Chains A and B, each alone.
Chain A
Amino acid sequence: MNGNICQGGLFTLQESTVSENMENDSDKILDEVTSGDYKYGFYTDIEADQIAKGLNEDVVRMISQRKGEPGWLLEFRLRAYRHWLTMKMPGWANLKIPEIDYQDIIYYSAPRQKVAPGSLDEIDPELKKTFDRLGIPLDEQKHLSGVAVDAVMDSVSVATTFRETLAEMGIIFSSFSEAVKEYPDLVKRYLGSVVPYTDNYFAALNSAVFSDGSFCYIPKGVRCPMELSTYFRINAANTGQFERTLLVADEESYVSYLEGCTAPMRDENQLHAAVVEIVSERGAEVKYATVQNWYPGDKNGRGGIYNFVTKRGICKGDNSKISWTQVETGSAITWKYPSCILKGDNSVGEFYSVAVTNNHQQADTGTKMIHIGRNTRSTIVSKGISAGVSQNSYRGLVKVLKKASGARNFSQCDSLLLGDKCGAHTFPYIEVDNQTAVIEHEATTSKIGEDQIFYCNQRGISTEDAIGLIVNGYAREVINKLPMEFAVEAQKLLQISLEGSVG
């Protein structure tokens, strides 16, 4: 743990002196651990509408053109692209990121559907089958009751369920592309308002080439009656996925949103650089949960997704609330800091995270809580679990501005180690400009005890199951924040991702 003060501005986690924790150069340690099987590693052979590899202004224009976008959006993209050209990849994270050749990536790949689906029944059966296999049926009848899904494959949304049901309440839930067409004013008003394209390298890249994602608007006073969710699937090879999610909760509204993701197993790495923006107006509450299960690479560290994501929400109005919950088990490399800007007085930001790394995975994840309004409160609960030769870092910033009198933060950062070849690191940054603020930070590091496993064994529980139990017990506080159905999924996922990691 170190207590470096971050000099950063509001919107960037700045480079800081974190190199002292780069101690584990353990690439050469090829353990005999057999990792659990990744169940979602299949590939769907479906014709795709793709553009050639490479990135330049023409590519940006081409993406915009394929999507039939209005001029202002193309302008936004081009500005972002030009800005991106002036930037360098951030180097401050506790990550070893191999050189990425941005010219070797396909920036647009859309599964070709014979006819554009007018209704859910017209979706390509092959696509339907794919999502069925992923446990995400696109038939409304078959679906988990009370969950609406936007299914995104590679660069485009292929289906959104329950749109009509939701529309009756004035809730807009659609793919980003459709929202641009149907609600241009709303999109224009909020796009880039929380994560400007100047924010960071990957946000700039995303702003230039983003292809699809979900858009959601909850009108004043409406409590969204079902879970909204987006399921992201990378399918095509050599493509990057750059999706954009924009979620606006108007005054006194409520929504709970869930995002899931998987990708085929491939030997090469694939880039996923998403942006999520949330706006919570006066008295509104947004719960945003992620179960991230991108392909993590094989047990020798070959392949896997680079998950470089910018997620941020603003509690714009008084008494508003944003709560992030994430269960991160996948990806070869994760770089992600879902954050809250607590602008409204009495607004509340929460971050609950479980991040698992096994084999050669690396994660540098955490949050930023920016207290601007008075009596703003934030809670951070981060549970890192490292196994294999993985590296797992928590990085968090709690910043209290001058006017934020009465601000409070509680942070709890725990690390659990399985085995002794992995690493856990904590980088908390605290910046306080108001003397009335109360900041509490607790951190622990523990190991799964051999004695705990034996105790379980002695009661008839196998070692694999024992690890599952112990890890889920450790992560319970976070898992409990997930909607019921997903909590069960997340528990299984935790167990699977750690299979073979001990003894």
Chain B
Amino acid sequence: MLVIDNLKASINGKQILKGISLHVKEGEVHAIMGPNGSGKSTLAAILAGREFAAIDGGSVSYFGRNLLDMAPEERSRDGLFLGFQYPIEIPGVSMVNFMKTAINEHRKYRGLEPLSASDFLKLMREKKELVEIDSTLTNRSVNEGFSGGEKKKNEIFQMAMLEPRLAILDETDSGLDIDALRIVANGVNKLKRKDSSVIVITHYQRLLDFIVPDVVHVLYDGRIVKTAGKELALELEEKGYDWIKKEAEKTEESWRVNPQ
């Protein structure tokens, strides 16, 4: 469903993504790990359509369409969901109003009538149970005054409401306590359909015990420097990133000596 080919992007003239290629098939779970500042969130934001980075090259196809040509809201309506590393507060806008607007935009895109108030509330209730989110949270303004963990849970709640085909979860696990982590992971697993895919960006193997990835990638300095099965996460947990960095630098050097 998602084919990223040699994607390059820069922010303020500084190259952040240096040629990323990634292929996510329907039903797969991919994990992206990598040291701080390596470009994981940048990649996620570019996929979601945030216009803060210049695309210098490469392509992204999403169900055969040129993703980079789609407006961010269209990507969302077409089933791409980003769970934010730092969810945004919108004072005065109730979660109910926010979600209702979002859901109805999604429905309109699919040619459906808006949900009635009672159907909408029913849906909310269902999904709240699924992710075990406190009822009072959804009566408040979007993320306003939510604790770090509550914000992350709220991202998964929104994901549950919107039932994406491709969910990109940017460090949804950081800031969660052990119970919340399990709840969030269970939520993601329950929401997972045969034809939907997930990209989890995380620093911790722990999450991957719950959400078991098919593939693990390591992003380092704007490149995917290693791709392997789920055991790679364990290895990283044990050994850290140094060995990966060294490996990567070696490749870089050899590339400099023999540029293709």
Contact = CB atoms under 8 A, between A and B. Distances in A.
B50 A452 contact: no
B97 A469 contact: yes
A473 B105 contact: no
Interface in B128-187: 141-142, 158, 162
B205 interface: no
Interface stretch (B11-19, B85-93, B218-226, B239-247): B85-93
B205 to A, nearest CB: 28
A459 interface: yes
Interface string A457-475: 1111111010001101111
B159 to A, nearest CB: 10
B91 A469 contact: no
A451 B90 CA distance: 10
Contact of B88 (A451, A460, A477): A451
Instruction: Report, as a range, how many residues of chain A touch the other chain.
Output: 20 to 34
A476 to B, nearest CB: 4
B109 A460 contact: yes
A459 B142 CA distance: 12
Given A462-B105, A470-B90, A457 B97 contact: no
Contacts, number: 80
A469 B93 contact: yes
A472 B91 CA distance: 10
Given A469-B98, A469-B101, A473-B141, A457 B73 contact: yes
B77 interface: yes
B71 A457 contact: yes
Contacts of A459: 76, 98-99, 102, 105, 158, 162
A475 B105 CA distance: 23
Contacts of A476: 92-93
Instruction: Report, as a range, how many residues of chain B touch the other chain.
Output: 20 to 34
Contacts of A135: none
A457 B50 CA distance: 9
A218 to B, nearest CB: 34
B93 A460 contact: no
Contact of A460 (B90, B97, B106): B106
Interface string A438-457: 00000000000101101111
Contacts of B213: none
Contacts of A457: 49, 71-73, 76
Given A457-B49, A457-B72, A474 B92 contact: yes
B84 interface: yes
Contacts of A473: 90-94, 141
Contacts of B32: none
Name, among A451, A454, A460, the residue most crowded by chain B CB atoms within 10 Å (CB to CB).
Answer: A460
B84 A455 contact: yes
Interface string B231-258: 0000000000000000000000000000
A460 B92 contact: no
Interface of B: 48-50, 71-73, 75-77, 81-82, 84, 87-94, 97-99, 101-102, 105-106, 109, 141-142, 158, 162
